[in-house]
Chains A and B, each alone.
Chain A
Amino acid sequence: MANIDETAILKRIFSYFLLIFLAVVILAPFFIGIWTSFLPTADILKGNFFSTNVSLNNYFDAFTQTPILRYLGNTVVISIITMFAHLIFCSMSAYAFVFLDFKYKKVFFALFMVTMMLPSEAAIIPNFQTVKALGLLDHYSAMIVPSLTSAFGTFMLRQSFMQTPMELKEAADIEGLNHFQIYWNVVLPYNRISLITLGAYSFLGAWNQYLWPILVTFSNNSRVIQNGLKQLQSEETFNNWGMIQASAAIIVIPTIIVLFIGQHYFKSGMNEGAVK
């Protein structure tokens, strides 16, 4: 018995050691980044990471001396519009694929899936041509219109909608609800966890866009935060690393907030009691 206990304890020590090690490896750069955002650039350049000159000056500078607020505003608008567009269009198409019967349903769905397999980078040149022809360059819509819907979102919601008990739809049918009422009053509330997941995913996806915005934006009026950060780094002849770190932290914080809000809803058992 004693032997078994010892090996169990050793095993446990080992796994905790491994977990702590991995946590440090993963989290260290993040915390170093946050920490240095509070330090003056002079100290960072000297490598004096344990400096005690901690202040919020970098944040103050970032907000006052750079257009970061404008970038943030641009990104927030684009991300939120993209998120809601995904929620609306993906859920509608997913509803059609699950609850409606129409000709060539499977073919259409296969077409959807095919677009998912195509990497977005491959579509960048034709997309650019289209956007340019439409005269949308350097405008919010250049970043919003091409990503109004997503095959992944449709696919994800379709899988989720298929889990909706058929009886709920039938009960609604008997009460005489039309498709839009069933969609709005039954299917969407039942699948709200998937919708929140997709919302968070779409928001973060839009927030972290880099390649596409860098192609279609030229001015601060439409530049998004990720490009803005890069811009800061190259514009400043004397690289103000403290300020850049502060800006990076500002960018990360909203994504963390989104994840925290989202996490609150990932409770199991929300749909318990519907059937059986």
Chain B
Amino acid sequence: MSTVLTNVCKQYDQGKTVLGKVSAEIKTGEFFVIVGPSGCGKSTLLRMIAGLTDITDGEISIDNRVVNNLSPKDRNLTMVFQSYALFPFLSVWDNVAFGLKARKHSQVEVEERVNNALKMVNLEDLKDRKPRELSGGQRQRVALARAVASDAKICLMDEPLSNLDAQLRIKMRQEIYALQRKLGITLIYVTHDQVEAMTMADHIMVLHNTEVQQIGTPAEIYKTPANEFVASFFGVPPINILPATKLSSKSLKVNGDFEVKVDQVITENELKVGIRPNELRVAKADELTANATVKNIEFLGDEKILYATFNNGNEVSAIISSETHFDLFDTIKITSTNNVLLFSQDGINITKGVGDVVNA
């Protein structure tokens, strides 16, 4: 009882590969987020699950039934579009009832479902309005109500929050999450926003360069990213990737500068180190001992983000306490704790213990 993707491929006529060999298992009732930068094929993948786009190769099955050649309606799912796709000539109530009426539910059932759905998204008072008389957030709720009213067990969402402002986005994020838990539906959610992915997902699929980079829980993805891309995609500000050389079997010289001890035997001479901004230690230093210069400082309230340039030109960002004071162009000494990630030259995570959790 789950949605299984097996080696799903998409190529367009010109031979351009949009997605290559995507495999995943999406369990029933889970919140599954597909995340990746623009143009990585995540919307295409969602549309392929929906049946709006053909699959070039591979197999999609829902509840042990191969659906490759089924039309969208026979896959028994709903979809919330990025643009909401409301019918401007129908009232809110009729918009929500649209699919139910099309699927020939009885009048009584349609009314009950629509009223319940509207109640769930707090739109009962606006049920006679037209979409043009609603705000962005309310339109979004209508689109959600449409998914809620449906009896489909799988709901697909294609960047549903990208048209909302920041505050509303946080609110809707919580509402969507609460709805998904309450209804117990399988939710497959596409976004380019790593914060949305981290906050809502049971499992995250990271897509990049037409391929799955990693599938895992938010914690796995953050703590043990499969590669350099996944590491830098999650976390704000992004992880610092710096070159490093082997000093001894268990220590490294990072950026030709400071030393980091690691809890594993290092086999390669040249590698890369990923250091989260909150693992960096910054101290004022005179010009002789300094290894970097402050470029910019962002005040966030309880903390500050410090952007600096190493003497060799590498950029780095660090999270520091908001009490510490630095000025622009101050010379500083940057070091790191030993809590770092190790990447091979071509970006694969070689930190000890990572291989077990990466299933991509």
Contact = CB atoms under 8 A, between A and B. Distances in A.
Contacts of A273: 86, 88, 130-134, 139
Question: Could you tell me the dominant secondary structure of chain B's interface residues?
Answer: loop
A175 B88 contact: no
Interface residues on A, range: 20 to 34
B216 to A, nearest CB: 29
A173 to B, nearest CB: 5
B80 to A, nearest CB: 9
B77 interface: yes
B178 to A, nearest CB: 24
Interface in B23-44: none
Interface of B: 50-52, 71-74, 77-79, 81-90, 98-99, 102-103, 130-134, 139, 163
Contact of B88 (A173, A177, A185, A190): A190
Nearest to A182: B102
A186 B83 contact: no
A176 interface: yes
B87 A168 contact: yes
Question: Could you tell me the dominant secondary structure of chain A's interface residues?
Answer: helix
Contacts of A165: 83, 85
**Shortest Cβ-Cβ A-B pairs, 4 listed:** A176-B73, A273-B131, A275-B83, A273-B132
Interface string A144-182: 000000000000000000000101101111111100010
B83 A170 contact: no
Contacts of A185: 98, 102
Contact of B84 (A176, A177, A271, A275): A275
Interface in A255-276: 269-276
Given A273-B130, A273-B131, A273-B132, A192 B89 contact: yes
Nearest to B139: A273
A205 interface: no
A167 B83 contact: yes
Nearest to B129: A273
A135 interface: no
Contacts of A186: 87
Nearest to B103: A176
A274 B103 contact: no
Given A176-B99, A176-B103, A273-B86, 12 more contacts: A167-B83, A168-B85, A172-B102, A173-B52, A176-B74, A177-B73, A271-B88, A272-B88, A272-B132, A274-B86, A274-B87, A274-B88
